[in-house]
Copies of this chain bind each other. A is one copy, B any other.
Amino acid sequence: MPSSPIRKLVPYADKARKQGKHVFHLNIGQPDLPTPDVFWKAISEESGSTLSYCPSNGYEFYREKFAKYYREFVGIKDVDADNFIITTGGSEALIFSIFSTLDAGSEIIIPEPMYANYIGFCSSGNINIKPIITSIEKNYALPEIAEFEHAITENTKAILICNPNNPTGYLYTKEELERLKDIVLKHDLFLFVDEVYREFTYGGEFYSILNFEELKDHVIVIDSISKRFSACGARVGAIVSRNQEVLDTCLKFAQARLSPPSLGQIGGAALFDLGKDYYDSVKEEFSARRDFLVGRLLNMEGVLCPQPGGAFYLLVKLDVDNTDKFCQWLLESFEYEGSTVMLAPGSGFYSTPGLGQYEARIAYVLKEEDLAKAMDCLENAIKEYKTNVMTSDSVFDQTLS
């Protein structure tokens, strides 16, 4: 098991806090907005009861509300409660569905950089990742079909994408998804699409992979209430599929761990009663943060920042020698006006060794005022690091000239 790039610096952050520094957490996708009141209200109504196991595939009342949300807000007409298996966060949804469809030794194609935990999950099942490399210079867009064709072998069983993307913020176009559809059908693959950030789009249109009728038996969508409703601690995710065999196998894994958390579903069901206003207000907030952050980064010397179309992440290139070292140094040795900033080093988002060492992921999950202070920290930190710590020449001179 590799360590999580998002969490491996936690001990250094703890130490920084113990030294009295304030740490701006931009390393983890933990939105700061309060979990909506309806969530808390629904749970408080359970007081005095027995907090029981729920069915292994989740409460039926929860799955029904969830299916209704898919019909009304995602626009997928032909799904009902039976198309869902409720899991302990999106993490478990990924593990169950990957382990239900791929044997040890088989291959899965994932555009790189990728969500770090995909690497961990595949590693724990001895599933080989075949990365398709996307580049910051092309805004991390999907490469040409030819590259996929090139990567496919007789052991390739699936493709996995995250849309909108974590860590790059890239929003896939309908055309790109159509290209993926063709490859999936041609080679009879599974297509996993992690759509947990689908409400977080800025400018472009989100297109759910579930819209493709032809992919009925191929598609497995990963979902979660964590980001959508600022309820990460609830640990309630889901597998969404129309492939009954896949769902049946996932259910065996689900039964083996008994059940997903009950409280998160009790509160979560109430969240699906929220209307379009809720989604609009969240999108507006994050859209403003994105604009602010991108504006700051573009004006920062030694930072290459693409324009993200969704989610709440940016994967930026920094003019430092090594972001693993830099991010640790930020916590251990740097301070600006009593604060420092925690980022996720880029290397952990690559399965290919050596890549990502100049990149870092920034999660814009704080309010603008805090983002401003965090950017002040980062701007000063880069200067100080380059002047006092770095011994090699500028990264940009080496790699971008």
Interface centre among A34, A47, A126, A230 (most CB of B within 10 A): A47
CB closest residue in chain B, given A29:
B53
Contact in complex: A40, B35 (CB < 8 Å): no
Do B7 and A35 have beta carbons less than 8 Å apart? no
- Cβ of A4 within 8 Å of any chain B Cβ, yes or no, is yes
Beyond A34-B48, A40-B46, whether A256 also contacts B91 by CB under 8 A is yes
CB distance from A100 to the nearest CB of B (A): 8
Which B residue's beta carbon lies closest to that of A258? B91
Q: Is A299 on the interface with B (CB-CB < 8 A)?
A: no
Contacts A8-B255, A263-B264; A51 near B230 (Cβ below 8 A): yes
Residues on the B chain within 8 Å of A46, using CB: 40
**Interface presence of A232 (CB below 8 A):** yes
Bound complex: CA A99 to CA B3 (Å): 15
Q: Does A52 contact B (CB under 8 A)?
A: yes
Task: Determine whether A259 belongs to the interface, using a CB cutoff of 8 Å to chain B.
Answer: yes
Say which residue of B3, B56, B262 sits within 8 Å of A234 (CB atoms).
B262
| A394 interfacial contact with B, CB 8 Å | no
A297 in contact (CB, < 8 A): no
- Which stretch (A116-124, A185-193, A284-292, A322-330) binds chain B? A116-124
In the complex with contacts A34-B49, A52-B30, A252-B2, A92-B257 CB distance below 8 A? yes
From 41 to 71 in chain A, residues with beta carbon under 8 angstroms from any chain B beta carbon are 41, 43-44, 46-56
Contacting residue for A4 out of B3, B31, B120, B255, CB 8 A: B255
Interface centre among A2, A33, A44 (most CB of B within 10 A): A44
B56 adjacent to A7 (CB under 8 Å): yes
Residue of B53, B88, B256 near A30 (CB, 8 A) is B53
CA distance A251 to B384 in the complex (A): 34
With a cutoff of 8 Å between Cβ atoms, the chain B residues found around residue A252 in the complex are 1-4, 120
Q: Are A32 and B44 in contact (CB under 8 A)?
A: no
Closest to A235 in B: B261
- Most B CB within 10 A of own CB, among A6, A121, A126, A263: A263
- Residue ID in chain B nearest A56 by CB atoms: B7
A253 contacts B1, CB within 8 Å?
yes
A20 on the B face (CB < 8 A): no
Interfacial chain B residues near A356, Cβ < 8 Å: none
CA–CA, A386 and B4, complex, Å: 58
A152–chain B nearest beta-carbon distance, Å: 27
Tell me which residues across on chain B come within 8 A of A232, comparing CB atoms. 51-53, 258-259, 262
9 A-B pairs with least C-beta separation: A233-B262, A120-B256, A4-B255, A40-B47, A1-B252, A51-B233, A91-B257, A261-B261, A53-B232
7 residue pairs bridging A and B, Cβ less than 8 Å apart: A2-B252, A3-B252, A7-B56, A7-B258, A232-B258, A232-B259, A234-B263
Further contacts, 9 of them, CB under 8 A, given A88-B88, A235-B260: A4-B255, A28-B53, A34-B48, A40-B48, A44-B47, A51-B232, A54-B233, A91-B257, A232-B258
